[in-house]
Amino acid sequence: MLIRNVAVLVVPEQGECRVDEAQDIHIQDDRITAITPTTTSSPTDEEVIDGTGLVAVPGLVNSHTHSPMVMMRGAAEDLSIEDWFNQRIWPMEVNLTPERVRVGARLACAEMLLAGVTTFVDHYFHADQIAAAAIESGIRADLAPTYFSSAGADGINAAVDTTRELSRLHPRITASLGPHATYTVTDDDLKRTADIARAEGFRIHLHAAETDDQTQASLDNHGVTPVQVLERTGVLDAGALIAHGCGIRPGDLPILERYADRTAVASCPKVYLKLAMGEVTPIKGLRSAGVPVGVGTDGAAVHNTLDVWEAIRMVALTQKQREHDAEWMTLSDTLRLATRGSAAAPGLTDQIGVVEPGRQADIALVDLSAPHNQPVHDPRAALVYSVRASDVVTVLVAGKVVVRDRQLTTMDLAEVLADAKSLAHTLVDLSKGGAIQHYAP
């Protein structure tokens, strides 16, 4: 396959990103094999996608989400983080069933693919259902089956077994271990998780130091920060994706630096503002420590979208604000975070994240011709500050076209939407009482 005459976003490991005009991207099976300047004599015996007027960007990676929570979109608004968990989300999650999770995951995959998201890094229940939706839709996913210590040994074992099963399921599916958080999983269970991770080669995806309040509570109650908990339980040594990390303290950075080759942090700043958490991920410090940071949306029950473009923009804006420095988190910094950084989140650094020969052919073709992007003095600025998810025209995952002319090729969108609508009320039903967990970090 050939994507012909397309502009290509080039993201070097350091220095300025650039957009190379008039390139041909050659694809064999699931991989990019070559990128060459467009010539009039390009071969025509391949399937050709005309990239004229489009920019090829690495397929976006949603580096932390709970995809089926799209089913609760808009059902938990204007609440403190405590009430969000204890009055709405954890009581609502009593209603989870395999079918409801699958219907939600299908909707989430549709939303993400249409927006140019080609990989999502998920943390949720009934992860086998999410895997089925991902496989059907054509998207790539890293799935961590969620567990709390309150589930007991059997519950934890079942989640770990799901990780094992998912890891063997499909070339586009990888699996991680999914302890929920340092405040809902005991140190003993984290140690056991780390042992399994090291023995079987899994990564661990979990929430830690989500807010500074959590860090302070950990210090007050246990005398250690959440990051120190991750170190002493072996989670960092095994390789971890830390969701949020807004409560990472300066003193945690030297610890994280020691595990920088296998650790990453996912930042989802729309959520931090919406829940008035008071902090965002300290990306500048993490970068100094060499720790990769990716961009995510968290679940749509708080982020309201799975729009990674929106999340990328929020990272750039909130990081400039946090550091009181408009010259920091530049266009190139931001695009590198959103591509190479996000690829590191699920440990796929060598597979995805850049449009280069040898990488998976996960590519989004973006049309910058609409009025809201014009004129384009700098396409990098358009990608960070003016593009909309609706500007994504064509999407490939593993060399397969999954969105063509803004339409899904893999699923019947009308059916996906109808299924979600018909079940939506069941997810937000609070009449049964109870909750799957209580938030008291």
Q: Where does this chain bind a copy of itself (CB under 8 A)?
A: 70-75, 77-81, 84, 107, 110-111, 114-115, 270, 272-276, 278, 300, 304-307, 316-318, 320-321, 323-328, 330-331, 369, 371-379, 381-382, 385-386, 388-390, 413, 416-417, 420-421, 424, 428
Which of 205, 303 has the CB closer to a copy of itself?
A: 303
CB of 419 to a copy of itself, least distance (A): 10
Cβ(256)–Cβ(286) below 8 Å: yes
Q: Is residue 17 classed as helix, strand or coil in its secondary structure?
A: coil
Cite the beta strand spans of 150-295 per DSSP E.
173-175, 178-179, 204-208, 240-244, 263-267, 293-295
CB of 402 to a copy of itself, least distance (A): 14
Q: 265 to each of 257, 343, 346, how far by Cα in Å?
A: 12, 11, 10
Beta bridge partner(s), residue 55: 7, 366
Q: 83 to each of 79, 80, 89, 275, how far by Cα in Å?
A: 6, 5, 9, 10
Q: 18 to each of 8, 32, 86, how far by Cα in Å?
A: 8, 19, 46
Hey, what are 229's tokens? 């908990």
**Which region holds residue 119: left if phi is over 0, alpha if psi is between -120 and 50, else beta?**
beta
CB of 16 to a copy of itself, least distance (A): 11
Distance of CA 287 to the CA centre of its chain: 19
Which of 16, 20 has the CB closer to a copy of itself?
A: 16
CB of 199 to a copy of itself, least distance (A): 40
Distance of CA 140 to the CA centre of its chain: 11
Q: Name the helix (H) or strand (E) containing 321.
A: helix 308-323
**395/139 Cα distance (integer angstroms):** 10
Which of 229, 329 has the CB closer to a copy of itself?
A: 329
On the CB side of 303, CA atoms within 13 Å amount to: 29
CB of 74 to a copy of itself, least distance (A): 3
CB of 278 to a copy of itself, least distance (A): 6
**Considering only CA atoms, which of 85, 49, 96 is closest in space to residue 426?**
96
Q: 31 to each of 51, 86, 198, how far by Cα in Å?
A: 18, 45, 29
Which of 119, 334 has the CB closer to a copy of itself?
A: 334
CB of 245 to a copy of itself, least distance (A): 17
Which of 84, 148 has the CB closer to a copy of itself?
A: 84
Q: Is residue 96 classed as helix, strand or coil in its secondary structure?
A: coil
Kindly compute the dihedral angle of the four CA atoms of residues 285, 57, 129, 149, in this order, to the nearest 10 degrees.
0
What residue type is 108 in one-letter code?
A
Which of 117, 238 has the CB closer to a copy of itself?
A: 117
Residue 59 per-residue DSSP state = P
Which of 3, 384 has the CB closer to a copy of itself?
A: 384
**Which region holds residue 244: left if phi is over 0, alpha if psi is between -120 and 50, else beta?**
left
Which of 377, 432 has the CB closer to a copy of itself?
A: 377
Which of 62, 360 has the CB closer to a copy of itself?
A: 62
Which of 262, 388 has the CB closer to a copy of itself?
A: 388
